[in-house]
Amino acid sequence: MKIIGSRTCVPVIFRVTLSALFSALLTVVIIGAAALSQPTEKRIIGYFTSWSVYVRDYHVPDIPADMISQINYAFANIDNSAGTIILGDEYADTQKWYPGDSWHPDSLRGSFHQLQIIKANYPYVKTLISVGGWTWSTYFSNVALTEESRHIFAQSCMEFITEYTFDGVDIDWEYPVSGGLPTNITRPEDRENFTFLLEELREQLDSLETANGQEYLLTIAAPANPEIIANIEVEVIHQYLDWINIMTYDFHGPWMGPPDLVTNFNSPLYIVPEDPTPEPYHSSFNLDAAVSAYLSYDVPEGKLHPGLAFYGRGFGSVANYNNGLYADYNGPCWQGTWEAGVFDYWDIAANYQDVNGYTSYWNDDAKVPWVFNPNTGVMISYDNPASIWEKGIYINQQNLAGAMFWEFSADRDSVLLATIYDALESGATPPTVSLELTPHNPPIVIPEEGGSFDFNITAVNNTGEPQTVDFWTIAVLPDSTEIDILYAPNFTMNGNQTIDRNRTQRIPPAAPGGEYGYIGYVGDHETGEIMDSDYFSFIKEGSFFIGDYNSGWFNTGESFKRNAWESIVPSEIELYPAYPNPFNQETILSFSLQKTAKVKLVIYSVTGREIIGLYDGWKPAGVHNVKFDASNLPNGIYFVRLTSRGFHQTQKLLLIK
């Protein structure tokens, strides 16, 4: 299980119960020490829906504008008789009253006025009017049909964005030629007419720029399905666009069609070899494949934004098989946040993630989670902070322009938005050398008289250059003390090399009973810099006799270039960043000592009141880990303070259940 996702390279562990391994263990570190006050250099584009202001009770002032760069307002409609853009919801868009609005008949109110206020307070935020969408793409084929119809429609868009002070137009035609609602008007010539329409819009936007001295943007919401991508002249249209937002979600859902014969993932990052879906869907229905498709048309990386789903898809009557994944089902479940089979992320986190009979799982190929309740037969595929972080890493690694997401109200607490913000702002990428520990035949249970288990160490050099690294492992005892085991220094890996080592770990009879953590690290052992780490757990049954349990931890097997057995002594006292942070119920606090010392580790409230004394006593030199169980504490901000021989260091913690 991967245990490090932080920009800060420190040795940390994350101990969780087996029932939560696929969710809590993979919960990503969200660096929260500094306020999110500046936008990331990467773009973060969020859709705000006009209907959010009704039962969802989410409004433009609720948008965390310090974490975004663009707001796409969904949606404007098309007047077929006039061939022009029109308001989608006149009341929500321009009439709904907010505090501070004027009642003068000529005054602008509604969400459009609130967008103007956001732009005044956050000048770097751009707003675009999004036209169409799934429901209102009915007449795109008509307005794109002739030179005259394209000119009329584009001219109406210029008047619209001028009147309501938008910074551009986002065309969400779902879809040219075929693939949308059966009631849509479609024609075979939609493919080339879409290109002509975008060309006309670009020309008129450029003229408006010249007249007003302001930059105007033209973007599209683009399909991820290769069968629909084929109906767009991608290789031509990108020259007219500032960027392309790829709708890399709804790959699968409870729709019972050929791609959806069994339960599957809404928005997988990568292909899953075990996915039983037939081709071409098996290989192409994932974010990486969709991005690769657009890159194959020579679209610059700096114009591409993969889409993130801040919602989940729920399958109903799911067979109790394979924890609900790739299982038979019968349509959408009747449950949902606002409609059957569709769940906002905040709702999933509060009511379905390891509560109410649901269990969270994680697929390490797709890099996404799901939850399943065998009693209700409901499986929900969704994204959580861990999967959003993985997609942020992908965006950075591929040097893409940023991310788009659907939509603000589904993440009303901004948990997922903060995650993608932090991932893009940090420039998080795969580690220089990645590490994976794979135990053979888990779960591992060692009898009280001692025994051994086999495991594999896999390391990958993710660069094209040679890397010289150290490998080491430790065992974390039930009382959180540590045993230093394997130390293999100065191992040189060639560029892009993968190595595998099968090892056997002996557990001595005197080892106390309980749950252990087994952690592997790769990096620079002397400086303490961690490139990557991994973790699995095992159980030791009782203690065979009283004695020295620090000896007898023999580790043998396929050798590294060189092995050495040394103790690990840090160079200074330090309190490392908690992992995870923010956290849900449990987090691990790690600190280092360069020699034996008395230490005190205390949790304080935001008012400075002592809440819990986690440790008060002597610790030997080394790196130590202490679990903070906050399951009985309310959500909020806490502080942990480490003191030792005049040294003190404090760190902020954020508890989110």
Mind listing the pLDDT tens digit for each residue in 220-274? 999 999 999 999 999 999 999 999 999 999 999 999 999 999 999 999 999 999 9
**In the prediction, which pLDDT does 498 show?**
87
Q: CA-to-CA distance for 46 and 409, rounded, in angstroms?
A: 10
**In the prediction, which pLDDT does 39 show?**
58
Q: Which of 31-40, 93-102, 193-202, 408-417 has the lowest mean pLDDT?
A: 31-40
**In the prediction, which pLDDT does 36 show?**
35
Q: CA-to-CA distance for 396 and 414, rounded, in angstroms?
A: 21
One of 3.30.565.10, 2.60.40.3880, 3.90.650.10, 3.50.50.60 is the CATH number of 433-557, namely: 2.60.40.3880
CB neighbour list of residue 182: distance below 8 Å, 6 or more residues apart: none
Q: How confident is the model at residue 68 (pLDDT cuts 50, 70, 90)?
A: very high
Q: CA-to-CA distance for 489 and 640, rounded, in angstroms?
A: 34
Q: What is the mean pLDDT of residues 606-622?
A: 86
Q: CA-to-CA distance for 493 and 608, rounded, in angstroms?
A: 49
The per-residue pLDDT for range 72-110, each reduced to its tens digit, is 999 999 999 999 999 999 999 999 999 999 989 889 999
CB neighbour list of residue 9: distance below 8 Å, 6 or more residues apart: 523, 528, 529, 530, 531
How buried is residue 546: exposed, middle or buried, by Cβ count under 10 Å (0-12/13-18/19+)? Answer: exposed
**In the prediction, which pLDDT does 531 show?**
93
Beta bridge partners of 410: none
What's the sign of the alpha-carbon dihedral 181, 185, 190, 196?
negative
Angle value at C-alpha 300, between 124 and 404, nearest 5 degrees = 45
Residue 189 has pLDDT above 90, yes or no: yes
Q: What is the mean pLDDT of residues 65-76?
A: 98
Query: Domain locations in the chain?
Result: 44-313+383-426, 433-557, 574-655
Nearest to 629 by CA among 649, 655, 606: 655
Q: What is the mean pLDDT of residues 348-360?
A: 97
Beta bridge partners of 437: 457
| Same topology between domain 44-313+383-426 and domain 433-557 | no
Residue bearing the bigger pLDDT, 380 or 583: 380
- 84: helix, strand or coil: strand
As a CATH number, domain 574-655 is 2.60.40.2550
What does each C-alpha distance from 525 to 415, 487, 602, 604, 644 come to in angstroms? 34, 9, 28, 33, 24
One of 3.30.70.360, 2.20.25.90, 3.20.20.80, 3.30.420.240 is the CATH number of 44-313+383-426, namely: 3.20.20.80
**In the prediction, which pLDDT does 546 show?**
58
Q: How confident is the model at residue 9 (pLDDT cuts 50, 70, 90)?
A: very low
Q: What is the mean pLDDT of residues 5-22?
A: 29
Nearest to 28 by CA among 428, 385, 421: 385
Q: How confident is the model at residue 22 (pLDDT cuts 50, 70, 90)?
A: very low
- Which residue among 90, 147, 163, 174 is the active-site one? 174
The per-residue pLDDT for range 287-334, each reduced to its tens digit, is 999 999 999 999 999 999 999 999 999 999 999 999 999 999 999 999
Q: What is the mean pLDDT of residues 127-131?
A: 99
Global confidence as pTM: 0.70
CB neighbour list of residue 8: distance below 8 Å, 6 or more residues apart: 31, 576, 577
Q: What is the mean pLDDT of residues 623-643?
A: 89
Q: What is the mean pLDDT of residues 9-16?
A: 29
Q: How confident is the model at residue 509 (pLDDT cuts 50, 70, 90)?
A: confident
In the residue annotation, 174 being an active-site residue is answered as yes
Half-sphere exposure of 492 (CA within 13 A, CB side): 3
| DSSP code, position 617 | E
Whole-number average pLDDT of the chain: 89
Highest mean pLDDT among 220-224, 523-527, 648-652: 220-224
**In the prediction, which pLDDT does 642 show?**
93
> 518-536: b or e for each residue (b if 16 or more CB lie within 10 Å)?
bbbbbbebeebebbbbbbb
E strand or H helix at 423: helix 415-426
**In the prediction, which pLDDT does 237 show?**
98
The runs of H, that is alpha helices, within 213-344 are 226-229, 234-237, 281-284, 287-296
**In the prediction, which pLDDT does 260 show?**
97
Residue 594 has pLDDT above 90, yes or no: no
**In the prediction, which pLDDT does 262 show?**
98
Nearest to 153 by CA among 81, 234, 215, 68: 81
pLDDT above 90 covers a percentage of the chain that reads: 72
